[in-house]
């Protein structure tokens, strides 16, 4: 099994992505999925509708594993989230997009959602942006993650932007591990292969030992032109396999990055 730790369905700003369209791209892979119609909430759907749509897609296609999209920018009422987590154990985690929703990741408005995540023992996937972003910088996400040190927080894309952003995000991960300040994971969607290797090298050799279990392969499909064509998606996955094998020559590490790390974190 290969797990793509960051994929989407939904009609939104980014395009119109049915579950069937997603499956055409990811093929037999399992996808940890959230509904973009709930992230683009002003043109899309409210929290209840968006996550119900996500649930239905995941029950129709079992390889699609749902995350609950949180609209913390609109409401700090977590009754809908709690209802979903109680009634539908299908949901494996929570998803936040501080950049698109323009709610800085260190805002108190996220707190009730993170309290629910802690209570229900669910990881939280954040879109993480450029290190200088005033909404989704890994620095702001780290600030919040430190307030909830036992909640696993995933830096989606390890931050976007150039190498300096990735390096800063890696430094944050290292500090969180070495000082035990937070539980931070990263997915490598949109990250170029050289920076992925740098991330793996860094987490392999922390002062506390090998922490590469905190890294997950992901694509963010179908967001981005290159993620909307099966041939390119497959080519990128293959490039990842080839380069990681070339560099580390460690089959166990590769399988962990491609599957086991995500399965352990999301518990399925
Ligand atoms: Zn995404």
Helix, strand, or coil (residue 104): coil
* Angle, helix 79-87 to helix 111-120, in steps of 10 degrees: 20
Looking at per-residue confidence, does 76 or 49 come out higher? Answer: 49
Structure token pair of residue 266: 């999301």
Cis ω on the peptide bond leading into residue 222 (within 30° of 0)? Answer: yes
Residue 256: give its domain's CATH number: 3.20.20.140
Between the CA of 220 and the centroid of ligand 1 the distance, in Å, is: 5
Between the CA of 73 and the centroid of ligand 1 the distance, in Å, is: 17
Between the CA of 221 and the centroid of ligand 1 the distance, in Å, is: 8
User: pLDDT tens across 4-48, in order?
Assistant: 999 999 998 888 999 999 999 999 999 999 999 999 866 678 999
User: pLDDT tens across 202-240, in order?
Assistant: 999 999 999 999 999 999 999 998 899 999 999 999 999
Between the CA of 208 and the centroid of ligand 1 the distance, in Å, is: 30
Q: In terms of residue numbers, what domain contains 99?
A: 3-266
> Domain tally for the chain?
1
Helix, strand, or coil (residue 51): helix
């Amino acid at each position: 099994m290969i797990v793509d730790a960051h994929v989407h369905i939904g009609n939104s700003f980014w395009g119109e992505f049915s579950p069937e369209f997603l499956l055409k791209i990811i093929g037999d892979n399992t996808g940890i999925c959230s509904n973009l119609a709930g992230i683009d909430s002003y043109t899309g759907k409210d929290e209840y509708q968006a996550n119900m749509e996500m649930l239905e897609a995941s029950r129709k296609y079992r390889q699609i594993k749902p995350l609950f999209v949180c609209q913390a920018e609109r409401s700090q009422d977590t009754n809908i989230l709690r209802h979903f987590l109680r009634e539908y154990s299908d949901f494996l985690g929570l998803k936040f997009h501080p950049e698109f929703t323009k709610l800085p990741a260190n805002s108190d408005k996220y707190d009730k959602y993170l309290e629910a995540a802690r209570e229900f023992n669910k990881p939280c996937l954040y879109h993480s942006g450029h290190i200088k972003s005033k909404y989704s910088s890994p620095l702001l996400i780290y600030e919040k993650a430190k307030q909830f040190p036992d909640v696993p927080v995933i830096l989606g894309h390890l931050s976007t932007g150039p190498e300096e952003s990735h390096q800063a995000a890696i430094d944050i991960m290292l500090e969180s591990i070495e000082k035990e300040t937070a539980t931070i994971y990263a997915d490598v969607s949109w990250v170029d292969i050289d920076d992925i290797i740098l991330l793996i090298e860094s987490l392999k050799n922390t002062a506390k030992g090998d922490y590469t279990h905190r890294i997950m392969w992901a694509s963010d499909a179908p967001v981005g032109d290159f993620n909307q064509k099966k041939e390119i998606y497959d080519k990128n996955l293959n490039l990842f396999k080839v380069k990681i094998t070339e560099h580390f020559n460690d089959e166990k590490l590769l399988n962990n990055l491609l599957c086991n790390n995500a399965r352990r974190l999301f518990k399925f």
